[in-house]
Amino acid sequence: MAFKHTEYAGWGRALRASGTVARPDRASLLAALDPAPAFGMRRSYGDAALNHGGRAIDMSGLDRFLAFDAETGILELEAGVRIGEVAAAFAPRGFLPAVMPGTGFATVGGCIAQDVHGKNHHHAGSFGAHVAEITLWQSGTLVPVLPGTPLFRATVGGLGQTGAIVSAKLRLVPCKGTVMLVTERRARDWNHHLSLLDSSTATYTVGWIDATATGASLGRGIVEEGEVARGLVKKRAKAAKVPMDAPHFALSAPIVRAFNAAYYARVPAAGRTVVRPMADFFFPLDKILDWNRLYGKRGFHQFQCVVPLGAAGALRAMLDRIATSGLASPLAVLKRMGPGRAGYLSFPMEGYTLAVDFPNRAAARDLIRALEADTAEAGGRLYFAKDALAEGARIRAMYPELPAWQQEVAKADPARAYETDLVRRLNLRNA
């Protein structure tokens, strides 16, 4: 198994790495590889999956289903399996992953390493809460990791610093169909948007927010509530592909404002209920392959924070800062989160999370740094899966369980073989 020189990037394409990468397609081939950071489909936006100047292991070739127990709903599978593949294979059998992120291309190993959340976090908690067992590759040894142990809490949301995730057992949840019944409602403004999120009793709830609207319309958007259902629906169209990097003006402020106004108006004022393919609801952007190229060759940054319920006013002020900047893209999401988190460095807290994409420009980077300061002041935290710009001191204060994580990681990887660019940038492993 050889390492080959590769140029690669995170999904945002603003940060890049050059190094040697090996891609095993069988777990047995790991035995021939020296310890190195592992990554999957590199759907983290920043540098979480990068190791510039060093070695890395691409685990996306380890993508097999290993065993399934229909009585318990426990699925054993390799770490490179895409979460969308799990949903597609098992929904017809009456089961779904308990938690799914916004892209079906995220691997199971990546979902564990970032402890991802979904549109049902307010009910179901984070991904790691539904993991029954993890198998790590640590310096030539396969190590089983069980919930309730410090090593489990250091691995879930732990950025791959305890070893390469080789396989896992997931507790799938029963589902009663293969389509989604989706109710869409307009949110007139910020207060109305929060009230719709707060009062939702649906299994899945998410808000698209118009990050260009200002004044009385600040915070307007569309709240979607989804339930799994039985029924027939037109098959999802084959994914389109962005053939080249878009020019810099493709997401200029006038174009984004016009798109957002049209997108808001597509839902009738009285709302509507529609039936959609499951993938269209859970993974809407996967319909456009390589959609990150719409931001041009310089790439983009996503800012995502979560703040406590009592800091909703601070989050509104942050949105106002974004809306008046003229820098936001059409991709902006607001969600209500519950308290469920499974790891020392897991992102979720009970409150509201806002995610907004920005083209990679100097003004946008300055804005994001200001938003990060606002997040810290509000008692919130930033999401490692999206971050590319934060400073270590600020991040450390957001994650009070960092010392416990550091202690377990030091035992699992004393030689620091698994360090990545993000871990070094944020100085996470130093006391």
Please check whether residue 140 lies inside any domain of the structure.
no
| pLDDT for position 405 | 98
Please check whether residue 407 lies inside any domain of the structure.
no
Please check whether residue 116 lies inside any domain of the structure.
no
Give the least confident one: 2-6, 157-161, 238-242: 238-242
Going along 23-139, which residue ranges are E strands? 38-39, 55-58, 65-69, 74-78, 95-96, 131-138
Q: Any residues with CB less than 8 A from the CB of 218 and at least 6 apart, and which?
A: 189, 190, 316, 319, 320, 323
67 HSE (CA, 13 A, CB side): 8
Query: Is the Cβ–Cβ distance between 163 and 121 less than 8 Å?
Result: no
Query: Is the Cβ–Cβ distance between 31 and 97 less than 8 Å?
Result: no
| pLDDT for position 249 | 78
Quick one: tokens of 71? 């009585």
Please check whether residue 242 lies inside any domain of the structure.
yes
Q: pLDDT (tens digit, 9 = 90+) per residue, 15-27?
A: 999 999 999 999 9
356-384 burial: b if 16+ Cβ within 10 Å, else e: bbbbbbeebbebbeebbebbbebebbbbb
102 pLDDT tier (thresholds 50, 70, 90): very high
Angstrom distance (rounded) from CA 27 to CA 29: 5
Please check whether residue 413 lies inside any domain of the structure.
no
| pLDDT for position 264 | 97
Q: What is the CATH number of the domain that holds 379?
A: 3.30.70.2520
Q: How many CB atoms lie within 10 A of CB 38?
A: 30
Please check whether residue 263 lies inside any domain of the structure.
yes
Q: pLDDT (tens digit, 9 = 90+) per residue, 324-382?
A: 999 999 999 999 999 999 999 999 999 999 999 999 999 999 999 999 999 999 999 99
Q: Any residues with CB less than 8 A from the CB of 113 and at least 6 apart, and which?
A: 48, 155, 156, 157, 158, 159, 160, 165
Please check whether residue 288 lies inside any domain of the structure.
yes
| pLDDT for position 233 | 82
Q: How many domains does the chain have?
A: 1
> What are the backbone angles phi and psi of residue 117, rounded to the nearest 5°?
-125, 165
Query: Is the Cβ–Cβ distance between 52 and 142 less than 8 Å?
Result: no
Please check whether residue 382 lies inside any domain of the structure.
yes
Going along 30-130, which residue ranges are E strands? 38-39, 55-58, 65-69, 74-78, 95-96
Query: Is the Cβ–Cβ distance between 151 and 338 less than 8 Å?
Result: no
389 is in which domain, residue-wise?
Answer: 179-395
